[in-house]
Structure 1
Amino acid sequence: MKKVLCKLPISGFGSQAHLLTICFTVGFHTQRTVILLSNTSQYSTDGWESFMLPLSDTCKTIGLNDTVVKVSNLTQIDNISVIDIDLAHKYIDLTDALPRDLFLRIKQFNPNPSLWWAGQIALYVFKPTKSFKHFLDKRQKEFGIENVFVGVHIRRTDKINEANYVNISKYMDVVEQWYTMYEKSHTGVERKVFLATDEPDVVRCVKASYPNYQFINDFNATIAASQKSTRYTIHSLKTIIQDIHFLSMSDFLVCTMSSNVCRLAYELMQTHYGNASRNVKSLDKCYFIYGLTPYFC
């Protein structure tokens, strides 16, 4: 059995999740089994399986006699039993990985089949354990987001070194526009916003500036994410997965596609809507997956 060795990088959860997208795309394209080694995760020694079910019940390790070769492209790998992909290189567009007939069928309901396919991969790997599923269900009731709500993701801290700063008012202008349109055909709407952020001042600001909205936020998680000493802990891992889960469930999502968290939530939204292109507004970049897809607007 030929395999793809997938090692979680020392990075944020969104980046780790998109590495899995790359690994599964390469595995699908080359007909190889994906073997995940997640004990390198900086969040927890249990890595991915801290809160997620194993990707497979049987294929979890490489064999003692397997030859592992780090590769920078997918040519001349037929005789290699296990490939370890070099993330410094671009591999393959998801468009090329999809069978042509499947690509055309997806395109009938989603203009970006690569995005839809990435969502299916995300849905497959995001299989919560029984206890974590119970936690998410409990949190949903506590947050009171069984009904209509908008998801907003505002990343600060390290993000301002990677992308342009976007003022809070820009996010809320879009939220305001969406609710105004929604209320034209719906009555008795309670304006709810699930806010995921790594900056406590953002939470304080929106609550003070927009009193006609109900903001739902795990403030302890926000505080933990804002500090380097607590950002990469088992608790922070639990809450970042929680945030992505609820952002993906929103009726409309406002975020910045420069963030892996935003793109991951958007990918998962495809599994709810089929085509969620009208359910999101990015305030900076277009959608993309590093190493796989070009920018798609």
Structure 2
Amino acid sequence: MAIGKNISLNLKENLEENNKILEVLGDYFYNKIFKLQHPSDCKIARFLVCKLEQFCGFGCVMHHISFCLSIALGTNRTLIFEEDGIKWSYNVRWNDIFEPITNCNYGEDIAPWLPINNYKDISARIDRQLFLDRRSDIPFEVNYQPEVLPKEFSEILFTQHSNPSLWFHGQLIKYIWRESPATREILEKIEAKIPFVEGPIVGIHVRRTDKFKEAQTRNLDDYFKWTDFWFDIENIKLLPSVKDNKNNLNKTIIQQIPRRIFIATEEPKLVIKEAKKHWNDKYEIFYNKLEAKYGFEEGDPIRYTKDSLLAIMAEIKILVQCQFVVCTFSSNVCRLIYELMQAVQGKDMSEAVQSLDFFYTETWKCKKMEAIDNYTKPLNNKDEINANKGDIIEISRPIWNGFVYGKNTQTNSSGLFPSHLLGEIFHSENFPIFYKEE
């Protein structure tokens, strides 16, 4: 008993130390980004001009900005929005919702020198001002994309976090997501309605509407299977404290954690109604607004109103505070939640999100993973592929029944491969901003 207690205390102390290190690193990263984004003299600063996406939703926009910011950090340039973010998907200005991305001004520091060269023109990269296209418009892979890991901190991050590049991307999103005082006041009122102080809450993000164009729609039952599983495991953790004086498990006194969930979805009326019909007796169900309107397809004007933007921001912030979230990584919002959890909760939350379709990757449609062990498919099985430990598998379809569909780049064969035998591939690059001292 004493040995077990000491192990628990040591584990707790180690976790607290790890969390403190991540907190210190997070503060360091934030301050470095803030300093680069707020040069003392904008007239001599080097700029990367980012065009805000005008044809995609909030999660997509945030990931495009993180793409721009990561490249700006890697090239030691100050990121600035084209026309200071006046034109983007939503019918409000960026600076009406968030803090300005930089203290410099597009009209004064960029416009007088137009036209400027493009970042994808390698010969022009010595220019003081460069324009960065949308990622889809760049015909080749560029350095410093968000999934990269700063080489300066790779060693320490690998000892503190199980997915260092995810943690780093979370820091980028954290800087971008700096709300204006007015926005913060609105969102805090919505967040205050969710009783996080009363115990753990599991989040569910159900993306439907336009999802059928990109990925398979999942039944609500698929989400609740994982919420049930999470709460079941949490209850099992309490079992040692409910044994009787004969050291037998007393099932009559097992403590049950109250099951609370928060549901975010673009179809609140339909989804919440279904959830209450089938799970209301088991769960206390929270949600934002039952009458919320998010639009039903890409391009729907309702989807890009200020109210819609604030609603999805509030839901993301609530989900980020949850202990566990079930969603689909084919959704930008799901990936955004996962990334922000690492920065906001200040600890390794890499196991806190369960995707119902794809593995996590910042771009989701393109994922390369490494076989962590040898695998030989069953005899006469034409659907699966073999792999040796270290082979690279390019994944092109979602996880299904424990398998993914992909191509072994070593053998050039395609087919199903066990998802549990795949590991992350990490890439690191030098970021001058993190070792240059002024």
Q: Same fold by TM (over 0.5)?
A: yes
Measured after TM superposition, the shift of residue 142 of structure 1 is: 1.9
Residues 1:243 and 2:330 aligned together: no
Q: Which runs of 5+ in 1 are unaligned?
A: none
Q: 3-state DSSP class of the match of 1:288? A: coil
In structure 1, distance between residues paired with 2:292 and 2:118:
38
Q: Identify the residue that residue 326 of structure 2 maps to in structure 1.
A: 254
Q: With a CA cutoff of 8 Å and minimum separation of 6, indicate the structure with the bigger relative contact order.
A: 1
Q: Which deviations, in whole Å up to 9, do the C-alpha atoms of 1:131-155 show, x marking residues without a partner?
A: 2222222212223333310111010
In structure 2, distance between residues paired with 1:209 and 1:96:
39
Q: 3-state DSSP class of the match of 1:253? A: strand
In structure 1, distance between residues paired with 2:200 and 2:329:
23
Q: 3-state DSSP class of the match of 2:316? A: helix
Given residue 154 of structure 2, which amino acid in structure 1 is its aligned partner? F
In structure 2, distance between residues paired with 1:83 and 1:291:
27
Q: Identify the residue that residue 216 of structure 1 maps to in structure 2.
A: 286
In structure 1, distance between residues paired with 2:233 and 2:217:
27
Given residue 132 of structure 1, which amino acid in structure 2 is its aligned partner? T
Q: Identify the residue that residue 178 of structure 1 maps to in structure 2.
A: 230
Q: Does the CA contact (< 8 Å) of 2:191 and 2:314 recur in 1?
A: no
Q: Which deviations, in whole Å up to 9, do the C-alpha atoms of 1:150-189 show, x marking residues without a partner?
A: 1110100101111012111110000000011112235452
Q: 3-state DSSP class of the match of 2:118? A: strand
Q: Which deviations, in whole Å up to 9, do the C-alpha atoms of 1:48-103 show, x marking residues without a partner?
A: 223211122x2232331265223336x33333222222222332354885442312
Q: 3-state DSSP class of the match of 1:151? A: strand
Measured after TM superposition, the shift of residue 112 of structure 1 is: 2.1
Q: Identify the residue that residue 16 of structure 1 maps to in structure 2.
A: 61
Written as runs of structure 1 = structure 2, the 5 A alignment for 1:1-297 is 1-10=45-54, 11-37=56-82, 38-46=85-93, 48-56=94-102, 58-61=103-106, 62-63=109-110, 64-65=112-113, 68-72=116-120, 75-86=122-133, 87-88=135-136, 89=138, 90-92=141-143, 94=145, 98-146=149-197, 147-186=199-238, 187=255, 189-199=257-267, 200-211=269-280, 212-220=282-290, 222-226=292-296, 228-271=300-343, 272-290=345-363, 294=367
Q: In the superposition, relative to structure 1, how do residues 293 and 180 fare at CA in structure 2: closer, same or farther (>3 Å)?
A: same
For this pair of structures, how many residues does the alignment match? 294
TM-score normalised over the length of structure 1: 0.90
In structure 1, distance between residues paired with 2:75 and 2:364:
16
- Name the Cα RMSD after superposition: 2.3
Q: Identify the residue that residue 427 of structure 2 maps to in structure 1.
A: none
In structure 1, distance between residues paired with 2:287 and 2:162:
33
In structure 2, distance between residues paired with 1:270 and 1:71:
30
Q: 3-state DSSP class of the match of 1:71? A: coil
Q: Does the CA contact (< 8 Å) of 1:43 and 1:237 recur in 2?
A: yes
Q: Does the CA contact (< 8 Å) of 1:114 and 1:293 recur in 2?
A: no
Given residue 157 of structure 2, which amino acid in structure 1 is its aligned partner? I
In structure 2, distance between residues paired with 1:76 and 1:293:
28
In structure 2, distance between residues paired with 1:175 and 1:96:
28
Measured after TM superposition, the shift of residue 254 of structure 1 is: 0.5
Q: In the superposition, relative to structure 1, how do residues 247 and 291 fare at CA in structure 2: closer, same or farther (>3 Å)?
A: closer
**Percent identity over paired residues:** 27
Q: 3-state DSSP class of the match of 1:35? A: strand
Given residue 174 of structure 2, which amino acid in structure 1 is its aligned partner? L
Q: Which runs of 5+ in 2 are unaligned?
A: 1-44, 239-254, 370-423, 425-438
Given residue 294 of structure 2, which amino acid in structure 1 is its aligned partner? A
In structure 2, distance between residues paired with 1:100 and 1:76:
25
Q: 3-state DSSP class of the match of 1:119? A: helix
Q: Does the CA contact (< 8 Å) of 1:116 and 1:270 recur in 2?
A: yes
Q: 3-state DSSP class of the match of 1:68? A: coil
Given residue 96 of structure 2, which amino acid in structure 1 is its aligned partner? S
Q: Which deviations, in whole Å up to 9, do the C-alpha atoms of 1:12-62 show, x marking residues without a partner?
A: 00010001110111101111110023211231241x223211122x22323
Q: 3-state DSSP class of the match of 2:285? A: strand
Given residue 125 of structure 2, which amino acid in structure 1 is its aligned partner? D
In structure 2, distance between residues paired with 1:154 and 1:168:
8
Q: Which deviations, in whole Å up to 9, do the C-alpha atoms of 1:200-259 show, x marking residues without a partner?
A: 311110111101111211234643344734111010011111111111111001000010
Q: In the superposition, relative to structure 1, how do residues 111 and 293 fare at CA in structure 2: closer, same or farther (>3 Å)?
A: farther
